[in-house]
């Protein structure tokens, strides 16, 4: 079997780490990208001890200018060809939009959208030349529904979902698989990074899906050439389809009540 090279952004925790752990069991050459040097090297060491996969690390803040190009150049310099790109790095920011830090909103757009587009563009061309490859872009169920108090975040995920589905259709007959992964609430550092209040986290604790389950569902969907997958069961599937059955204002008001800090 030919060893596949997989590049995962945001591999130092949560869903990205779970992708690394699962794919390491499949005899891959992994390239892990994030800012947390210690976490990445610790994970790389653990995976190399436990599996036969090669694991390499790129310590990179993906919000820096030219970050995507730097990652791409690193891969090129090593003479590697990425077979599976997982654009997973991302964060949210909870609270009333006008009260949140503007620079944080712009950084979120840079990470969740701009660098994802940059990496997709850079790595897609060589995949098209080879006539094979896969790209998983991590969106969210938030991509299907505007979210008051997570307004910028939900908008970035709507972008990722739309962008990825369009590329699925453009590339389906060229040997390239695209998947928009749309998790519902999942165990990870996401809620802490987004500064959700502890009370909100406690309320949702019982209903969180494990990152391992999200990854298994994603890899199954990729194998089945799906354009998107909603993980986390029936409730999340109902949420993403709600706009087909209810007026938009009704849904927005209901979601506003659910997410309101008051
Ligand atoms: N958890 C959920 O409920 C949920 C639901 C739907 C979608 N998602 C999406 O899933 C993806 C993964 O998030 P998660 O839930 O696993 O959260 P997480 O545990 O907070 O992981 C986020 C990852 O992104 C990396 N990251 C953050 N800022 C970065 C930057 N500037 N440059 C490079 N890497 C950066 C973090 O690493 P460093 O801090 O080391 O850089 C970390 O590895 C995100 O796109 C998120 O929007 C999550």
Residue nearest to atom 17 of ligand 1 (CA): 190
Predicted confidence (pLDDT) at residue 201 exceeds the cutoff of 90: no
Q: Do the beta carbons of residue 111 and residue 161 sit within 8 Å?
A: no
Is pLDDT above 70 for 205?
no
Q: Is the CB of 89 under 6 A from ligand 1?
A: yes
Q: pLDDT at position 136, please?
A: 98
State the average pLDDT over residues 98-112: 98
* Displacement of CA 90 from its chain's centroid (Å): 6
68 lines ligand 1 (CB under 6 A): no
| 177, containing H or E segment | strand 176-183
Check residue 1 and give its pLDDT.
52
* 157 Cα–ligand 1 center, Å: 13
Cα of 247 vs centre of ligand 1, distance in Å, is 32
What is each CA distance from 75 to 25, 33, 56, 88, 207, in whole angstroms? 22, 12, 10, 18, 38
Q: What percent of the chain has pLDDT over 90?
A: 94
Q: Please determine, for residue 92, whether its predicted confidence score (pLDDT) is greater than 80.
A: yes
Q: Is the pLDDT of residue 218 over 70?
A: yes
Whether the Cβ atoms of residue 186 and residue 214 lie closer than 8 Å to each other: yes
Residue 41 annotated in active site:
no
Mutational test site, ligand 1, from 14, 36, 180, 203, max ligand atoms within 8 Å of CB? 14
Q: Tell me: the pLDDT tens digits for 33-84?
A: 999 999 999 999 999 999 999 999 999 999 999 999 999 999 999 999 999 9
Closest residue to atom 2 of ligand 1, CA basis: 186
Task: Please determine, for residue 202, whether its predicted confidence score (pLDDT) is greater than 90.
Answer: no
Task: Please tell me the distance from the alpha carbon of residue 243 to that of residue 250, in angstroms, as a whole number.
Answer: 9
The preferred substitution site among 90, 104, 143 for testing ligand 1, maximizing ligand atoms within 8 Å of CB, is 90
CATH topology for 4-259 is Rossmann fold (3.40.50)
The verdict on the CB of residue 14 being under 6 Å from ligand 1 is: yes
133 lines ligand 1 (CB under 6 A): no
Mean pLDDT of 199-207: 74
Whether residue 180 has its Cβ less than 6 Å from ligand 1: no
Does position 262 have pLDDT exceeding 90, yes or no? no
Nearest CA to ligand 1 atom 34: 34
């Amino acid at each position: 079997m030919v060893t596949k090279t997989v590049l995962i952004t945001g591999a130092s925790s949560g869903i990205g780490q779970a992708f690394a752990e699962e794919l390491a069991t499949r005899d891959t050459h992994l390239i892990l990208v994030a800012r947390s040097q210690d976490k990445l090297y610790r994970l790389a060491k653990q995976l190399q001890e436990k599996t036969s996969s090669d694991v390499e690390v790129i310590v990179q803040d993906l919000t820096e200018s030219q970050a995507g190009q730097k990652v791409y150049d690193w891969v090129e310099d090593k003479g590697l060809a990425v077979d599976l790109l997982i654009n997973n790095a991302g964060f949210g920011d909870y609270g009333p939009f006008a009260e949140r830090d503007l620079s944080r909103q712009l950084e979120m757009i840079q990470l969740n959208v701009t660098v994802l587009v940059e990496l997709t563009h850079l790595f897609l061309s060589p995949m098209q030349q080879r006539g094979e490859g896969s790209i998983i872009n991590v969106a969210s169920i938030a991509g299907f529904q505007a979210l008051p108090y997570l307004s910028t975040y939900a908008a970035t995920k709507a972008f990722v979902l739309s962008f990825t589905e369009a590329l699925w259709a453009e590339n389906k007959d060229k040997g390239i698989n695209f998947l928009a992964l749309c998790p519902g609430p999942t165990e990870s550092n996401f809620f802490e990074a987004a500064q959700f209040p502890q009370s909100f986290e406690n309320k949702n604790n019982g209903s969180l899906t494990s990152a391992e389950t999200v990854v298994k569902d994603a890899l199954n969907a990729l194998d089945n050439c799906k354009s998107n997958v909603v993980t986390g069961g029936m409730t999340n599937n109902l949420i993403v389809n709600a706009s087909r059955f209810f007026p938009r204002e009704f849904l927005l008001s209901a979601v506003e009540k659910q997410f309101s800090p008051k």
